[in-house]
Amino acid sequence: MTNGALAGLRVLELAGIGPAPHAAMLLGDMGAAVLRVERPGAPAEQLPSHVLRNRTIVEADLKRDLDRVLDLAACADVLIEGFRPGVAERLGIGPEECLRRNARLVYGRMTGWGQEGPRAGTAGHDLNYISVTGVLDAIGRPDAPVPPLNLVGDFGGGSLFLVAGILVALVERGRSGLGQVVDAAMVDGASVLAQHILEMRAQGAWLPGRAANLLDGGAPFYRTYACADGRFVAVGALEPKFYALLLHGLGLVGSALPEQYDRAGWPVLAERFASVFRRRTRDEWAESFAGTDACVTPVLTFDEAVHEPHVAARGALRLAQGHVVAGHAPRFGRSDAGVASAGAVHTDLDTALAAWRAGP
């Protein structure tokens, strides 16, 4: 990758799974040169190739090849690792050793629980991290929380906060000349993501329980509805002017209905809306509401979404080697990175080290 906003930035990624490689993917999409170090014989199917796009991959045994990997760290701007706390130190490639060799290095650490705290040394996954922050309890049906994929902990609260921390540390390095350690923990990031909901709770605008509030499926004008063909539409008509267009599109103008924000009337509204949406197919409703501000859209599968006109025009999703893959975000006006490749280039450790010693 030679173009993009982060062109010339060198990122050393110690192989892992989940949000750490996703963060490296994002930096690569923005133009950084990312070198991923994998252990010899690591299974090629460990991660989908599209998560490993914009990478050069080398194999290295951190016991046998430690000095050469540390030499790579000495040439890097950023190092990313996603081990449990203390593992990188035991391997000899912790932040103290790396920063001793390269004082300008930004050392990014991605964990679920963080580097310290009572749970820091224990295992966990996305679902565990969002469960103890209260986030999971707010998502789902009235009778049970529902896992929101692994988007809230791993990626929303994990990789995106790691990337933000790395970029902030690079800006600060421009002033101080010094690198630093970025401790990105999913339990922290997920909590920050929830601040808007926490603020609504503080103001008394968010009630206990699930599917009882404005944004959790409780409001009849902010939820999904089944259509005649068993598929769904999404309704997000929060503002009164958009709500009026929803009523118009449903043929309910002038009907005796509860007021939009009368919570006591929400069950009545939900049943009326549901009965109307069941009269037509998803695509018929999508066509009916197309071009309006009623905030009604079809709920598409990934395979359908890649062909949706707006998604396709933006390149938000695309087909690569027969698979649906994400484009890149955000966009830059002067210098954009694009997506250079669907996969990764493999090389040997000595070649990679020689190239990095030679400079960008």
Q: What are the residue numbers of the active site?
A: 125, 154
- Distance between CA atoms of 344 and 56, rounded to whole angstroms? 6
The two three-digit tokens of residue 59, written as one number: 């194999």
Q: Specify whether the CB–CB gap between 285 and 296 falls below 8 A.
A: yes
How open is the CA angle 173-179-184, to the nearest 5 degrees? 105
- Distance between CA atoms of 347 and 3, rounded to whole angstroms? 21
Cα dihedral sign for 71, 339, 41, 350? Answer: negative
